[in-house]
Amino acid sequence: MALFSGHQHSIITFFSIILLVFLEGVTAATFTFINKCDYTVWPGILANPGSPKLESTGFELTKGSSRSFQAPTGWAGRFWGRTGCNFDDSGHGSCATGDCGSGEMECNGAGAIPPATLAEFTLGSGSQDFYDVSLVDGYNLPMIVEGSGGSGECATTGCLTDLNKKCPSELKIDGGAACKSACDAFGKPEYCCSGAYNSPTACKPSMFSQVFKSACPKSYSYAFDDATSTFTCSGADYAITFCPNVPR
């Protein structure tokens, strides 16, 4: 005996389509975090002012695991990985790199304390998404961003190289667990693209940013590194992978 008549089935199908249209209308993208590191990573999430918080602002991602989040149309914000974290049973603690200073596993609206590798997104409202991987705030672990199911260029970007091994001695943090930006290390306007250097014509790559750029050519290496570092796609879902497998 059939569970549904043809009429009932068509009604169910109709409502399924309506539900799908409704869901697609409010969800711009799915972000999936994947941990291919040999250790646990604690991703942090910071929504830009005016963008709603996602399901979490900070969570544990064990070796080999993944977790996905739905983001609404027009959402903008950044993601990063925290390493060397110690949290107690109530979720209180801190991290060796990428810590957000909240004292908790959830970052609760706080951003990454440099140095940290950042993935930045602005999801379009019926138009292009913009995304990049930035080393402007330094580097703590390899990360790539890959789009799927979208239209347009939709290139993969990020940093496959372990920059901690190539970090200039002046930029290394204790123990070599992360690599500072020259701006963070020295605070000079010519490295920070601030003051008189706050323009693309005045602020040029430094010997330090060029180390980052040669290791990770698709990543932002300093503030005005837009031309080779910003990517676009329309209607895609995105995977953010920590310690991606390096192509042979």
As for how many domains the chain has, the answer is 1
User: What range defines the domain where residue 146 resides?
Assistant: 28-242
Q: What is the CATH number of the domain that holds 100?
A: 2.60.110.10
What does the H/E/C string look like for 125-157?
Answer: CCCCEEEEEECCCCECCCEEEEEECCECCCCCE
Cα–Cα distance measured from residue 236 to residue 226, given in angstroms and rounded to the nearest whole number: 21
Tens of pLDDT, residue by residue over 216-242, are 999 999 999 988 899 999 999 999 999
Backbone angles phi, psi at 156, to 5 degrees: -75, 135
Tell me, what DSSP letter sits at residue 189?
Answer: H
Q: Determine, yes or no, domain membership for 13.
A: no
Query: Which H or E run contains 24?
Result: helix 6-26
> Is 7 a domain residue?
no
In a domain, 22, yes or no: no
Provide the pLDDT for residue 26.
57
Question: Looking at the domain assignment, is residue 23 inside a domain?
Answer: no
Q: Answer whether residue 230 is part of any domain.
A: yes
Q: Would you say residue 20 lies in a domain? A: no
- 5 in a domain, yes or no? no
What is the tens place of the pLDDT at every residue in 150-166?
Answer: 999 999 999 999 999 99
The pLDDT value given to residue 246: 57
Residue 115 lies in a domain: yes
pLDDT tens digits for 105-136? Answer: 999 999 999 999 999 999 997 789 999 999 99
Query: Considering the entire predicted model, what is its pTM?
Result: 0.87
Span 3-28, average pLDDT: 48
